[in-house]
A and B are shown apart, each in its own frame.
Chain A
Amino acid sequence: MPFQIPQWFVWLHHKLGVDIFNEASQVLMLFIWGVVLFVLIAIVAKSAVVFMVLMERKVLAWVTQRKGPNRVGPFGLLQTVADGVKLLFKEDIMTPGQDKFLFTLAPALFIFPVFVLFAFIPFTDYFTALDMPVGALLIFALSSISMLGIVLAGWASNNKYSLIGGMRSAAQAISYEIPLILSVLTVVLFTGSMRLTDIVTAQQTPLGPLGWYWFYLTPLPFLVFTIAAIAEVNRIPFDLPEAESELVSGYNTEYSGMKFAMFFLAEYAALFVMCALSVVFFFGGYNCPLAGVTMPWGTLIDSTYINTPVIQSAQGLISAGVWLEQQIKLPGVAFLLDQLEKISWTVLKIYVLIFMAMWLRGTLPRLKPDQLMGFSWKFLMPIALLNLFLVGLQKFWAYPNDTMPDLIASVTGNWGYLVVWAVLLVGGVGGFSIWMSHNLQEKLKARFVR
Chain B
Amino acid sequence: MAIPQLELPEKPGFSSLQGVTFDQGLSTEDMVINIGPQHPSTHGVLRLVTTINGEIVKDMEPVIGYLHRSKEKMAEGRSYFQYQPTIDRVEYLSSFFDHYAYVTALEGIANLKVPKRVQYIRVICMELNRITSHLLWFGTFLLDLGATSPFFYAFRDREAIFDLFEELTGARMMYNYFRFGGVNADMPVGWLDQVRGVINELPARFDEYEAIATKNPIILDRCLGVGLFNLQDCLDYGVTGPAMRACGVDNDLRKTQPYSSYEDFTFDVPTESVGDVYARYKVRMAEMRESLKIIHQALDNMPGGDTAEVKKIQAEVDVVANEIKEAQKRVALAKKQEQEPVAADVTLAEKTIPVINADWQTYGQKVNLMTFKPPAGEAYSQVESPRGLLGCYVISDGTPKAYRVKWRGASFSNLTILPSLMIGNLYPDLMAIFGSLDIILPEVDR
Contacts and interface: CB of A to CB of B under 8 A. Distances in A.
Interface stretch (A12-20, A98-106, A242-250): A242-250
Contact of B149 (A63, A436, A443, A444): A63
B188 interface: no
B149 A237 contact: no
A420 to B, nearest CB: 29
Contacts of A446: 224-225
Given A60-B148, A440-B217, A370 B426 contact: yes
Given A64-B153, A362-B149, A245 B221 contact: no
Contacts, number: 101
Contact of A369 (B40, B55, B220): B55
Contact of A440 (B17, B55, B220): B220
Given A243-B428, A246-B428, A366 B218 contact: yes
Contacts of B222: 365, 367-368, 371
Interface stretch (B105-113, B138-146, B376-384, B387-395): B138-146
Interface in A412-450: 436, 440, 443-444, 446-448, 450
A239 B153 contact: no
Given A237-B218, A246-B41, A367-B221, A64 B148 contact: yes
Contacts of B221: 367-368, 371, 443
A425 B77 CA distance: 75
Nearest to B54: A167
A248 B144 CA distance: 11
Nearest to A168: B55
Contacts of B426: 368-370
A443 B40 contact: no
A364 interface: yes
Contacts of B41: 245-246
B14 interface: yes
B88 to A, nearest CB: 27
A16 to B, nearest CB: 55
A410 B144 CA distance: 52
B337 interface: no
B216 interface: yes
A440 B426 CA distance: 20
A361 B148 contact: yes
Contacts of B438: none
Contact of A443 (B146, B151, B220): B220
Given A65-B153, A447-B224, A365 B145 contact: yes
B152 A65 contact: yes
For chain B, the bracket of interface size reads: 35 or more
Give the one of A161, A444, A450 with max B CB within 10 A: A450
Interface in B110-160: 142-149, 151-153, 156
B146 A365 contact: yes
Interface string B12-47: 001001000000000000010100000111000000
A421 B238 CA distance: 60
A378 interface: no
A245 B31 contact: no
Contact of B146 (A236, A370, A448): A236
A239 B428 contact: no
A371 B224 CA distance: 13
B219 interface: yes
B402 interface: no
A245 B146 contact: yes
A363 interface: yes
A366 B222 CA distance: 9
Contacts of A244: 40, 146
Contacts of A450: 14, 228, 230
Nearest to B279: A447
Contacts of A240: 428
Interface string A144-169: 00000000000000001100100000
Most buried by B among A365, A367, A444, A450: A365
12 contacts: A65-B156, A164-B33, A164-B427, A236-B148, A240-B428, A364-B147, A365-B145, A368-B222, A368-B426, A444-B224, A447-B225, A447-B278
Given A246-B41, A246-B431, 9 more contacts: A64-B149, A66-B152, A160-B31, A245-B146, A366-B146, A370-B17, A443-B224, A446-B225, A450-B228
9 nearest CB pairs, A to B: A366-B146, A64-B152, A365-B147, A245-B41, A365-B145, A365-B146, A245-B144, A368-B428, A443-B224
